[in-house]
Amino acid sequence: MPLWGNKDYPQNNNKPVFANTSNATSNSVINGTKANTNKFYGVVAGVSVTEEALKVPAANSTQHAGWVSLKFGTGPVTGITVTDRGQGINAAGFLVITDGSVLGQGTGANISFTTANTQNTLQTYSSNPTWNGIGTTTIVSGGSLYSNVSALTVAVSNAANIAQPAVTITLGGRAGRVQAETLVAMGSITLDDPRDNVYFSGI
């Protein structure tokens, strides 16, 4: 029986027991959960011939379809720019950042905000709730392990609001860098785990 299968299952994997890797995590017999780090395997994606042809520039270091190791640079949140202050945000609170990236390990960002009258930001509050939105933001902690700024979603912690604000996030460190390496060249991979589609689209 070959060590590597050719099915990129949406759930589970078709990779060797000693590696036990997937698009979301790696946990090997030899290295345990450390296998999920960039020092070892990172995450491993099944890349078909079609996906290899349609890969995005960030994954250009792959040379062949097959089982591909993806290692992601990460970093903290270093900047927040408010582009739409939102509506009905009547109390100060915190921005909740959700990491929807392939790596999905970003955590710990703590960004507080004040309120402002969106029609007159010199005022912290309006009696008209539709005019209340985010005033200033403060990065209390940038958190860590954020890898892809375009995969982050932001919402205010206050559940009662009319419209969420819109913000632009800046990440520091090595966030946004992707190292892709073909571990096993194979032109017969079928099925698709969609979690790698941001880098390898198609099936």
Looking at residue 1, its pLDDT comes to 43
Looking at residue 35, its pLDDT comes to 56
114 lies in the same domain as 184: no
1 lies in the same domain as 23: yes
50 lies in the same domain as 119: no
What number of other Cβ atoms are within 10 A of residue 100's Cβ? Answer: 12
What number of other Cβ atoms are within 10 A of residue 6's Cβ? Answer: 17
109 lies in the same domain as 56: no
92 lies in the same domain as 162: yes
Contacts of 14 (CB under 8 A, 6+ apart): 4, 5, 6, 7, 8, 46
For residue 60, give its domain range.
1-72+177-203
Q: Could you give the CA distance from residue 55 to residue 129 in angstroms, rounded to a whole number?
A: 46
- pTM here is 0.77
Per-residue pLDDT for the chain (203 aa), expressed as one digit of tens each? 467 788 887 766 666 655 555 555 555 556 555 555 666 667 788 889 998 888 877 777 778 898 888 888 899 999 999 999 999 999 999 999 999 887 888 999 999 999 999 998 888 989 998 999 999 999 999 999 999 999 999 999 876 778 999 999 999 999 988 888 888 899 998 888 887 888 888 77
107 lies in the same domain as 162: yes
The domain tally of the chain equals: 2
183 lies in the same domain as 163: no
140 lies in the same domain as 106: yes
Report the DSSP beta bridge partners of residue 43: 70
52 lies in the same domain as 31: yes
Instruction: Indicate the SS3 state at residue 42.
Output: coil
100 lies in the same domain as 183: no
163 lies in the same domain as 203: no
